[in-house]
Amino acid sequence: MSLKDKDGFHPEARSEGRMARLNGKPLNINWFTGWLGESFEAGWREVDEDPEAPKADLITELQPLEEGYHA
C-alpha cells in the first residue's frame, strides 16, 4: 500500500478525517501532526464541504467516555 493517495495525502489519516466528520466530530479532535494532520483535515473538510454527504451535526460539547473505553 502506498503511503500517499492520488492527492498526496496519507490514505488512513484521510479516511479517519472523513469518518470523524460523518460522525459529527469537530475538526479539533485531530490528534495527528504534520502531514498526517493535513491528511486528516483534508478528509474531514472533504465531507464537511459536500452538501450531499450524510454527515451528523457537529458535536459541540464534551461527551462522557463510554464505559470501558480509555482515551
Quick one: pLDDT at residue 51? 97
Quick one: pLDDT at residue 65? 60
Please state the pTM of the whole predicted model.
0.79
Average pLDDT per block of 10 residues along the chain, 71 residues long: 87 96 93 93 97 93 61 48
Helices (H) and strands (E) in the chain, counts: 2, 0
Quick one: pLDDT at residue 30? 86
Quick one: pLDDT at residue 15? 96
Q: For the chain, which residues make up each domain, given as ranges? A: 1-60
